[in-house]
Structure 1
Amino acid sequence: MRTGFSDYQTALVTGASSGIGAATVRRLCAEGIEVHALGRDTERLAALSAETGCRTLAVDLNDLGVLTRLAASAEFDILVNNAGQSRRGTILEMAADDVDSLVDINLRAVLHLVRLIVPDMVRRGRGHVVNISSIAGHYAFGENATTFNSSVAYHATKAGIHSLSQQLRVDLYGTPVRVTEISPGRVATSIFKNQVAADNPDARFVGGFETLGADDIADAIAFAVGSPDRMNVAMLEIVPTFQVVGDLRFARRTELSGADNA
């Protein structure tokens, strides 16, 4: 029985400087995959390369020329669209540049990478696209969650990733190329800082609350990619045990029963 890992040789991971992206690079490298890691922080990328042997490229995902040349530089079997940005505030108070930045990185770059890389996967008869969305793309959050997470523009871009993932499966019907959407909740990354600090405006949401680690998401990606080739893990919504999305209540670690309105 073949698995994704036995068929796949090369991966491209965006947002690889830290967090989920870096954890995913480590996980895929551990499976013997040649990983091309894209990010903005050259020092972190260099450290990640020294640790894992991955190939790195410091890149601005808004640079379509760079993305086009990159797509033509290798035959990628796995594409992990992870890079993302966040902003606070409602759409009523967001600056134009913030809106453009969120759309460019969270959605436009993903669309370009898919159109540039996936046709070659179809031609070669193998491939796996992993899109990192967010529960923000599926649920409307109130004031508390918006302050903690980000703006409606962020939610809208992540909803776009969800829609892209669904439609891409339709477009790829009849091919062996698989598409997985990973939709995380609270993860201890640069967006959700799992620490309390006097200058951290998210402290009241993070301090005593349960969060996932980047490795948890990387393991979920590995599960989907490594699944038997007859099996497509279409979507995984991954949240901490004590994060219940629908009611917007988040239980503290010290409160094993009941819940606390954040």
Structure 2
Amino acid sequence: MGFSDYRTVLVTGASSGIGAATIRRLCAEGLEVHALGRDHRRLARLSAETGCRLCALDLNDLAALTRLGGSAEFDVLVNSAGQSRRSNILDTAPDDVDALVDVNLRAVLHLTRLIVPGMAQRNRGHVVNISSIAGHYAFGENATTFNSSAAYHATKSGIHSLSQQLRIDLYGTCIRVTEVSPGRVATSIFQNQNAADNPDARFVGAFETLQSEDIAEAIAFAVGAPARMNVAMIEVVPTFQVIGELRFASRSDTTRLREMTSGADNA
């Protein structure tokens, strides 16, 4: 299919991070992109920059989502919005469970059921779900350093399962489903990374992380692929992150390794 076969895109989590980067990338392809987020001022700045259409609403507002789902024929749905919490199941607060399920899973399910039937009727469309390596792997004692929780892992695992089931439900149509599963990305989850009172600062500033633009490029690759090709799942992690773990080489280690490699190449 590629970009030329799609016209209208809906991206959630548009106020910042992966969502905003994805909007910039897809607007650059000439698509009409609708930016869904809660922060109207950020969305307005993004619209002035890219020409995207504003959809300032709360993902928990089902009536608003329903109206949005019927407002346009969306060819591409990018479920990018997500939240995280620091805790394990022994000390998880009930409000944290509700917030993570509401944003990370319930809203995705509602938008999917509202928008995908129209795609199926037109026999044209693409669903991109942003999950996480937390949906595939257990992180053990390092889980809190990743700023995640058991509830976060469970919701992202749900996104993985949803993506797989969607391909079954849409079998025989031209609708494609892509799951993008990132490792550590420098987004607002690690906000104020240099602040002295931020417990995650040492896990970002000292290590190489992915940028939101890296995930946007992965999304663009999948959406822009030819019709015969469905990029079902992309796992994107920093080069110096161990797959399925939270072990990273620090920036000092990566610099030393690169210097060693460069020296060997010049020998």
So what's the TM-score if we normalise by structure 2?
A: 0.93
Query: 2:85 is matched with which residue: 84, 87, 91?
Result: 87
Please tell me whether the aligned partners of residues 132 and 181 of structure 1 are also in contact (alpha carbons under 8 angstroms): yes
Aligned to 1:108: 106
CA pair 247-95 structure 1, distance change in 2 beyond 3 A: closer
Q: How many Å separate the matches in 2 of 1:153 and 1:138?
A: 13
The one-letter code matched in structure 2 to 1:75 is: E
Q: Does 1:23 align with 2:21?
A: yes
Aligned to 2:40: 42
SS at structure 1 position matched to 2:119? helix
The one-letter code matched in structure 2 to 1:243 is: Q
The one-letter code matched in structure 1 to 2:48 is: A
Please tell me whether the aligned partners of residues 25 and 54 of structure 1 are also in contact (alpha carbons under 8 angstroms): yes
RMSD: 1.3
Q: How many Å separate the matches in 1 of 2:152 and 2:48?
A: 33
Query: 2:172 is matched with which residue: 174, 197, 207?
Result: 174
Deviation at 1:13, TM superposition (A): 0.3
Q: Comparing 170-179 with 202-211, which one deviates more in the overlay?
A: 202-211
Deviation at 1:195, TM superposition (A): 3.2
Deviation at 1:194, TM superposition (A): 7.8
Q: What is the percent sequence identity of the aligned residues?
A: 79
The one-letter code matched in structure 2 to 1:166 is: Q
Deviation at 1:247, TM superposition (A): 4.6
The one-letter code matched in structure 2 to 1:52 is: T
SS at structure 1 position matched to 2:180? strand
The one-letter code matched in structure 2 to 1:35 is: V
Deviation at 1:76, TM superposition (A): 0.1
Deviation at 1:204, TM superposition (A): 2.1
Query: 2:137 is matched with which residue: 133, 136, 139?
Result: 139
Deviation at 1:254, TM superposition (A): 1.7
1:171-250 mapped onto 2 (5 Å cutoff): 171-193=169-191, 195-250=193-248
Q: How many residues align?
A: 256
Deviation at 1:18, TM superposition (A): 0.3
| Structure with the largest fraction of helix | 2
Please tell me whether the aligned partners of residues 37 and 57 of structure 2 are also in contact (alpha carbons under 8 angstroms): yes
SS at structure 1 position matched to 2:137? coil
Q: How many Å separate the matches in 2 of 1:230 and 1:74?
A: 26
Aligned to 2:260: none
The superposition leaves residues 98-121 of structure 1 with CA deviations (integer Å, 9 ceiling, x where unpaired) of 101100100000000000000000
Aligned to 2:3: 5
SS at structure 2 position matched to 1:191? helix
Aligned to 2:150: 152
The one-letter code matched in structure 2 to 1:218 is: A
The superposition leaves residues 35-61 of structure 1 with CA deviations (integer Å, 9 ceiling, x where unpaired) of 000011111000000000100111111
The superposition leaves residues 127-183 of structure 1 with CA deviations (integer Å, 9 ceiling, x where unpaired) of 000000000000001222323321100000000000000000011000000000000
Q: Mind listing any 5+ residue stretches in structure 1 that lack a counterpart?
A: none
Q: How many Å separate the matches in 2 of 1:246 and 1:19?
A: 23
